[in-house]
């Protein structure tokens, strides 16, 4: 694995309050960025690049928790998004929810004590996000939550629990859609702790558009543009029980009408070891970031349970069908291309019919313009300049 080993630290936590911003152990401003899963890389990369430009004299430390350890889901993002290799790799890997959170907390604490960061920046809603936030707050280090305020209002989703808790802990919440501001206000998180900056995942997409256009990923599978359904399914509610095979049966039926390309996530792959797919249902290894975006750009439609695919499809103008009962990204329905079809594999069979009646929505969500990272950096540096006053509850 890349990055440093976990250091042995004998230092004690800073006695400073959570409202006092720190300089790092080197005496310089120090910003720590924590990533742990595929979408985290996409969300944090533009912010890290913009922060390094805005604060070249500061120390910028990237910590990879290793929550996703398949190279196709982690290290390839470092290459595709031109991120630096992580300074620390916690090598947590797969585990239960409790074990994963506990391991990240245990392994990240000595790093934060040693580095004494000015702020810890965490994206998204995975276990790594929650664990890093808990440790930082208890050490008196301000937490900046990127992509804050999203809500599915379904507490059975582990990600929803993580989102709610991290937003309560965060000193600064960076949101990417107007309803996120409303959600935070309803939970007592006022304007002084919230900045509407836009969607940094779209920044990453815009940054690699030319490379995506050169990829031609679908052609590698013999697929014509605008002819196939691209599938990505990996959430536990779908793949940990009988719904997965039901979904595969429905996809096999659709493949008689239109080709289906299904890059299989490692979690899903384990459960399909003996599955024999029909010819037009192509199961393949996980794609790198550029390859998947290329396949998504030229797809006739996307079937997903992923939040990121909902957003990318909205920006690209590609019809998206989400196999879930709810979404924390309603903006992709209101001003995008997304349609909820429920957690019901039988609904997959109706996708060709829905496509026949589909009309494009020309609207893109506000501030999904490729400049969100610059606004995020401005908000973070405002917090630093105010010496923590922005952290006060409105």
* pLDDT tier at 76, thresholds 50, 70, 90: low
Mean pLDDT computed over 89-116: 95
- Bridging pattern class, strands 229-232 and 143-146: unpaired
Mean pLDDT computed over 5-19: 37
- Superfamily per CATH, domain 30-198+369-391: Glycogen Phosphorylase B; (3.40.50.2000)
The answer to whether 268 touches 231, Cβ cutoff 8 Å, is no
Residue whose C-alpha is closest to residue 380's, from 118, 26, 199 = 118
Equal fold, 30-198+369-391 vs 211-356: yes
With a pLDDT cut of 70, the percent of the chain lying above it is 89
In this prediction the pTM is: 0.89
The answer to whether 310 touches 338, Cβ cutoff 8 Å, is yes
Predicted confidence (pLDDT) per residue in 31-62, tens digit: 999 998 888 999 999 999 999 999 999 999 99
Domain layout of the chain by residue ranges: 30-198+369-391, 211-356
* pLDDT tier at 270, thresholds 50, 70, 90: confident
CATH topology of domain 211-356: Rossmann fold (3.40.50)
pLDDT at 268 over 90: no
Mean pLDDT computed over 360-365: 86
* pLDDT tier at 154, thresholds 50, 70, 90: very high
**Both structure tokens of 222:** 């013999």
Cα–Cα–Cα angle for 288, 38, 220, nearest 5°? 15
Q: Looking at residue 363, what is its pLDDT? A: 86
Would you say the C-alpha torsion 9, 10, 15, 16 has a positive or negative sign?
A: negative
Q: Give the total residue count for the chain.
A: 394
Exposed/middle/buried for residue 243 (C-beta within 10 Å: 0-12, 13-18, 19+): middle
* pLDDT tier at 387, thresholds 50, 70, 90: low
Q: Provide the terminal-to-terminal Cα distance of the chain, rounded to the nearest Å.
A: 43
Residue whose C-alpha is closest to residue 388's, from 21, 10, 9 = 21
The answer to whether 47 touches 144, Cβ cutoff 8 Å, is no
Angle between helices 38-54 and 307-316 (to 10 degrees): 70
The total of other beta-carbon atoms located within 10 Å of residue 369's CB is: 15
Catalytic residue list: 234
Q: Looking at residue 74, what is its pLDDT? A: 60
111-115 long-range contacts, Cβ below 8 Å, gap at least 24?
A: 111/6, 111/7, 111/9, 111/32, 111/63, 112/32, 112/136, 112/139, 112/141, 113/9, 113/11, 113/12, 113/13, 113/139, 114/7, 114/9, 114/11, 114/25, 115/24, 115/25, 115/30, 115/32, 115/59, 115/61
């Amino acid at each position: 694995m890349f990055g440093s080993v976990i250091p042995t630290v004998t230092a004690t936590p800073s006695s400073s309050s959570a409202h006092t911003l720190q300089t790092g152990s080197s005496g310089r401003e120090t910003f720590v960025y924590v990533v742990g899963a595929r979408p985290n890389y996409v969300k944090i990369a533009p912010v890290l690049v913009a922060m390094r430009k805005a604060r070249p004299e500061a120390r910028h430390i990237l910590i990879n928790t290793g929550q996703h350890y398949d190279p196709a889901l982690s290290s390839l993002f470092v290459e595709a998004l031109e991120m630096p290799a992580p300074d620390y790799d916690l090598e947590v890997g797969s585990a239960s929810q409790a074990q994963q959170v506990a391991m990240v907390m245990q392994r990240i604490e000595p790093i934060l004590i040693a580095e004494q960061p000015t702020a810890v920046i965490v994206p998204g809603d995975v276990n790594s996000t929650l664990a890093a936030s808990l440790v930082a707050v208890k050490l008196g280090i301000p937490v900046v939550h990127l992509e804050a305020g999203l809500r599915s209002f379904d507490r059975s989703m582990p990600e929803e629990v993580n989102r709610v808790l991290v937003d309560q802990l965060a000193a600064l919440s960076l949101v990417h859609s107007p309803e996120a501001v409303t959600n935070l206000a309803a939970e007592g998180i006022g304007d002084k702790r919230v900045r509407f900056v836009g969607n940094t995942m779209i920044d990453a997409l815009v940054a690699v558009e030319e490379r995506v256009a050169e990829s031609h990923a679908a052609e590698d599978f013999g697929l014509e543009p605008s002819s196939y359904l691209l599938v990505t399914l990996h959430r536990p509610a779908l793949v940990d029980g009988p719904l997965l095979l039901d979904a595969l049966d429905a996809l096999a039926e659709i493949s008689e009408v239109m080709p289906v390309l299904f890059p299989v996530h490692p979690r899903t792959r384990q459960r399909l070891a003996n599955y024999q797919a029909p010819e037009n249902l192509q199961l393949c290894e996980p794609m790198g970031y550029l390859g998947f975006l290329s396949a998504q750009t030229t797809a006739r439609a996307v079937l997903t349970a992923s939040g990121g695919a909902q957003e990318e499809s909205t920006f690209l103008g590609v019809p998206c069908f989400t196999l879930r009962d709810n979404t924390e990204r309603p903006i992709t329905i209101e001003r995008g291309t997304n349609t909820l079809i429920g957690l019901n594999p039988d609904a997959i069979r109706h996708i060709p019919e829905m496509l026949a009646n589909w009309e494009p929505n020309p609207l893109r969500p506000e501030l999904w313009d490729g400049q969100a990272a610059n606004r995020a950096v401005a908000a973070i540096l405002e917090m630093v300049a105010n010496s923590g006053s922005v952290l006060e509850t409105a």
